[in-house]
Chain A
Amino acid sequence: MNRMSANLAWRLFRHEAKRGELTIILFAIMLSVAAVFSLSMFSERLQSALTAQTAAFIAADRVLDARHPVDDAWLREARQRGINTAHQVYTRSMVFAGDNMQLVSLRAPDNAYPLKGQVKVAAQPFEPGVTTEALPGPKEAWIESRLFQLMGLSIGDVLEVGTQSFQVTKVLSEVPDAGFSLFGGDPKVMIPRADLEATGVIGPGARVTYSYYFTGDSDDLDAYYEWLRPKLDREIHRWMSVEDDDSPLGRSVGRAEQYFLLASLLAIVLAAVSIAVAAQRYSQRHYDPVAIMKTLGASRGMVQRVYLLQITLITALGLLLGGLAGYLIQQGVIWAIADSVPVDLSAWHWRPLWIALFTGVICAVLFSLYPLLKLFSISPLRVLRRDMGATVSARFIQFLAAGSAILILMWAYSQNLRLSLILFLSGIVLVALLLLVTFGLIAVGRRLGQGKIGAWQLAWARIKRRAMDNSVQLISFSVTIMLLLVVLVMRNDMIQQWRDQLPQGTPNYFMINITDAQLPTLEQHFAAQNVSLDTFYPVVRARFVAINGEQVRTDVRKEGEEENQRGRDGLGREANLTWSDTLQYENRITQGVWWSERPDDAPSGVSVEARAAERMDIKLGDVLTFNVGSEVVDVTVSSIREVNWQTMQPNFFFVLEPQAMADFLPTYMTSFHLPSDRKPQITELMRPFGNVTLFDVDARINQLRNIVDQVSMAVEFILVLVLAAGSLVLIAQVQASMDERQQELAILRTLGAKGGLIRGSVLVEFLIIGAVAGLMAALANELTLYLLQTQIFQMAGSVHWQYWLVAPLVGAGVVGLLGAAGCWRLLTLNTSTLLRKMV
């Protein structure tokens, strides 16, 4: 008896597979596995590729910063684990050239530095840099363009560092781990690590950072960190990876990673939806065979064995084919984008495969469960009473079970409960909305459906009749459309934001120390050279002394650190004060009010940047005291500002009310954009203004733009993959429902209905379903996006009215078209073939 069930299951499977009757469910499982696998594999690989790229910005995969040299055994241990290491020492020091002296940021790397990224040098100041493999030789120093200008140096001159003399042999134009701070750093000087001790600048009392760089397999690195962690002292050591990075770059990559994750989760939901639809259809198709078998004496147990076995066979085949297809797809995509984002094709991740197979199995099992229960309950009486359906009413339990399975799958994969919950809840809201609408439609349709039988009435009648039973279908259309909308809109918003962050013409040079007297000449000179200057900001160097009369603690920063900590400029005791009548671009008052809204007799105000305020515990109404030269300036905190640090714009922690600074003579800072091909003109541009310090951030901006471009590209590809998967799901859904309609069409045909009427009614039916699904999807999309943007992507929420119109139109168009196409195919068959195709 058992062998018999197996035989029969196998026989049915073989025949049905051959006759294309399993195509829909097989395709659904395949599609699910392929989509989840390819998407998550692709994103894991992209993610590693991006992480590898961005690793350049800390010159390694991980960095250990220490205040003292670390035990050599730590590094030996790392190397033993197959991890590459490098080392560099930072300090701030005075350097001398003739009568000139200047505080510089001194870097002394060993020969292994940098493990990631490149050092670039140039032959003359402000020339474009070229990559170098070598580092400064013994007694050589490479210095930044700015320092040549500041100290009046030329290539070949001697620079004294501590007690040693170094020959300046090259212009240091770029180091990978320079950070994104625009003006924080003193000019950089690079000398060989081996020559550092002899200079005596790292003697007792000096503030020195010893950086140790590590690269290797991320598992090895994690294991090493586990080993290392107990030995670290938080006061002395700091362990960093690029993901800890709060720079514009780290954020872009981080957001892209969230997006990839989102896409993979959506693939899981899509998978579930398509399997749910297919399983329902699969079950309906087998009502007759089950009724026949039961009539012929098959026991319930036997029917169950046959069909469970068959589902197992289908699932197994679906997993196999889906896995293969998924692998090929992502391999193909990676190959296709190789030119823009280099992804290591040999890198293999198991998790995507497991999660894909798991998704396939769990969806297949859970979504087949209810249809199968229905199938098992089919009465043999159906052989006589052809319209007899199934009699199981556990739909709610099935929804619950399937829903929780999806939630758990998403959670397991993303390890992000919040993200999973957001998607899940949006889904629930959508389903609830749809059920409401379904009932509404039935009520409306009841009125509309009366009268002469035309295409509309026929369509309405069908929708009405199917409304409850096939609400699954409407739900699946809506969910699919909604998911597509989510990935589409999310991608648009994200890419838009990246673009805004670095628009064309973003200033790539900054000038400070422009004197009041110089200002008109400088403006003229630049205008003559056809270079437009941005806003001039007055700047006065000050010392931040007290809050409400209470002394602020002295600077506790580690000096070496400041270059890696973006956005902290001026947050020592030294502060750059500026003043302005208007609020700066991309600044937003979060507490208090701008000057214009304060009473005229109020004491002079200051607006403090929000994060700085939080860090230093500054509140509205506090009185801040600054020393400017020998003068004391007291100002009252009248507003707290949020600043968008993502823009490459000068930003200030303290903006004062102009009246407070009326007595001081400021210097000015400004910025300008010079296209890369005009770079050689920079020397000439700056020649008349020897005292003005120029910051060249062109290389930084290009690096950043490059990464952002790659990330955007990656996001585009993910979008395309999701759209492709979603379209396939839609097609499969329409196909499945066409299949259901066969019988009805055949009957209508037999009764003599004209092709035009049938086509018309099917078209109208699908148009209505598509439009409703699209509208509901657009509504649910808003909710999902709002939650995603505010809770996950840390962006401002946005409303997308246009989709409220676009989604129903496109939904109706696409679903209607697919429906019409499917129907056309059916109508080309003659009636007797149709009747025979009826199962």
Chain B
Amino acid sequence: MSQSPEYVIKTRDVTKVVDTTEGELQILQPISIDVNPGETVAIVGASGSGKSTLLSLLAGLDEVSSGEIFLDGAPLHSLDEEGRAQVRGEKVGFIFQSFMLVQSLTALENIMLPAEIAGLEAPRERALEALQQVGLEHRGGHYPNQLSGGEQQRVAIARAFITQPRILFADEPTGNLDASNSDKVEKLLFDLNRESDTTLILVTHDPSLAQKCDRQLQMQAGVLTEINGQKAPQREAS
């Protein structure tokens, strides 16, 4: 199970069905995709089409209704919440539209959090370094509500990279930001991603952002389709 996997993400016929007051609702039709290590993948689609749902399954935040998901070899579909939490802590980084920083911890402490949870050595030093990388070294002592949206998202990026995760999930990371902040955050995201050779799964409805990824997937009413076209040249070259 822990042999070096070919694909960093591998899914087989993953579906998601939820109970609602009006009966069962199938949010995702069977989805099978494979993602290579280091690949950057954009998922685009209309609001409500199921992008976030797919992301939550891939990241192990939620349970599949059926099908299989292997995340860096770990069979998420057969793990319970505790098991998935461990996988998340070891292999996954997150960036969200609404930043999701702990309001009562400072920027620095927010960045330290995953390192501490994972039990890494010298979390503070690592966090300081990460803070520098996102250009906020002088704001480490500030609380999230003392930072602008763009700054908060940069803190979130620093937090996502501190454990050097194999895979990074970003759900509309620029959705709450203005144009200039979006650009800054985008650049930071791709730069760090390239430097650390992380696999990136990015949900967005910004076509230009999607264009920067190796692959684009289109979600439509729970059906995922590959948008034909350019396969990432960088990856094939590397």
Where the two chains meet, the residues of A that have a C-beta atom closer than 8 Å to any C-beta of B are 1, 4, 7-8, 11-12, 15-16, 19, 21, 288-289, 291-300, 302, 379-381, 383-386, 836-837, 839
Contact = CB atoms under 8 A, between A and B. Distances in A.
Contacts of A383: 61, 94, 96, 100
B108 to A, nearest CB: 11
A8 B106 CA distance: 12
Nearest to B86: A297
A300 B82 contact: yes
Given A15-B104, A21-B104, A296 B61 contact: no
Interface residues of B, number: 35
Given A11-B109, A292-B100, 5 more contacts: A4-B116, A12-B104, A300-B82, A383-B100, A384-B171
A384 B109 CA distance: 22
B55 interface: yes
A25 to B, nearest CB: 14
B215 interface: no
Given A299-B86, A836-B145, A837-B145, A381 B61 contact: yes
**How would you classify the secondary structure of chain A's contact residues: helix, strand, loop or mixed?**
helix
B227 interface: no
B147 to A, nearest CB: 9
Contacts of A381: 56, 61-62
Interface in B136-161: 143, 145, 159
A11 B105 contact: yes
A366 B119 CA distance: 32
B222 interface: no
Contacts of B87: 297
**How would you classify the secondary structure of chain B's contact residues: helix, strand, loop or mixed?**
helix
Nearest to A303: B85
Contact of B61 (A16, A302, A384, A837): A384
Contact of B104 (A289, A299, A385, A836): A289
Contacts of B119: 1, 4
Nearest to A21: B104
A384 B172 CA distance: 10
A836 B105 CA distance: 14
12 contacts: A11-B109, A15-B143, A19-B143, A293-B113, A295-B61, A297-B117, A299-B86, A381-B61, A384-B56, A384-B61, A385-B56, A386-B98
Contacts of B46: none
Question: Which among B88, B103, B113, B119 has the highest number of chain A CB atoms within 10 Å?
Answer: B103
Nearest to A295: B94
Contact of B114 (A7, A288, A297, A385): A297
A384 B86 CA distance: 19
Nearest to A386: B98
B118 interface: yes
A380 B85 contact: yes
Question: Which among B56, B86, B101, B119 has the highest number of chain A CB atoms within 10 Å?
Answer: B56
A839 to B, nearest CB: 5
Contacts of A296: 88-89, 94, 113-114, 117, 159
A839 B143 CA distance: 12
Contacts of A292: 100-102, 113
Contacts, number: 92
A380 B92 CA distance: 14
B105 A297 contact: no
B150 to A, nearest CB: 14
A291 B100 CA distance: 9
A701 to B, nearest CB: 65
B141 to A, nearest CB: 11
A705 to B, nearest CB: 59
B117 A298 contact: yes
Interface in B47-86: 52, 55-56, 61-62, 81-82, 85-86
Contact of B89 (A11, A21, A297): A297
A16 B104 contact: yes
B90 interface: yes
Contacts of B109: 11, 15
B54 to A, nearest CB: 11
A789 B88 CA distance: 63
Contacts of A1: 119
A737 B52 CA distance: 31
Contacts of B106: 15
A288 B159 CA distance: 16
A388 to B, nearest CB: 10
Contacts of B85: 294, 297-300, 380
Contacts of B52: 384-385
Given A7-B116, A21-B104, A381-B62, A297 B90 contact: yes
A806 to B, nearest CB: 43
Question: Which among A291, A297, A385, A386 has the highest number of chain B CB atoms within 10 Å?
Answer: A297
B90 A289 contact: no
Contact of B88 (A11, A288, A297, A300): A297
A696 B185 CA distance: 97
A385 B52 CA distance: 9
A557 B85 CA distance: 85
A302 B100 contact: no
Nearest to A297: B89
Q: Which 3 pairs from chain A and chain B are nearest by CB?
A: A297-B89, A836-B145, A296-B114
A15 B143 CA distance: 10
Contacts of A386: 98
Contacts of A289: 102-104
A12 B116 CA distance: 14
A380 B61 contact: yes
Given A4-B117, A296-B117, A384-B171, A288 B86 contact: no
